[in-house]
Amino acid sequence: MTRKLIKPDLREIKKISKKDARKKPPPAYKTHAENYYYIKQMNNKTHMVVELINGEVFKGRIEWYDKNCIKIKREDENNFIVFKQVIKYMYKDPDFKDAENSVDKSSKP
């Protein structure tokens, strides 16, 4: 009985490893879009409407946020800290008008 020594062809192994190296990495898990949105609304002092899963609605400005919750500052009322997991959706308050935007256009030259 004769035995043959089986050697792997190194050229084939290099080709396979080069193909694997060219694969595109998966996209980033965290895009930071949520953080950007909160910072933008806080800096602009945008009045927001926040609706919770149970149907409650809060109107106010976002004062600060962290990983799990946001603080909503309301005009002349109590402030609330709301967990993000109970927020159904939030949007800019369409009923709120800035004092700057409500100036008569006729008074401008």
In this prediction, residue 62 carries a pLDDT of: 94
At residue 20, the pLDDT reads 59
Residue type, 90: M
Q: Which helix (H) or strand (E) holds 50?
A: strand 47-52
User: Which token pair is 29?
Assistant: 């898990």
Degrees to nearest 5, angle at CA 11 with 10 and 13:
65
Predicted TM-score of the model (pTM): 0.61
Residue among 48, 93, 98, 58 nearest 79 (CA): 58
Per-residue pLDDT of the chain (109 residues; tens, 9 = 90+): 677 777 777 777 777 666 656 667 777 788 889 999 999 999 999 999 999 999 999 899 999 999 999 999 998 888 999 999 999 999 999 988 764 444 444 444 4
Distances (CA, A) of 22 to 9, 15, 34: 21, 11, 31
Distance CA 7, CA 14 (A): 14
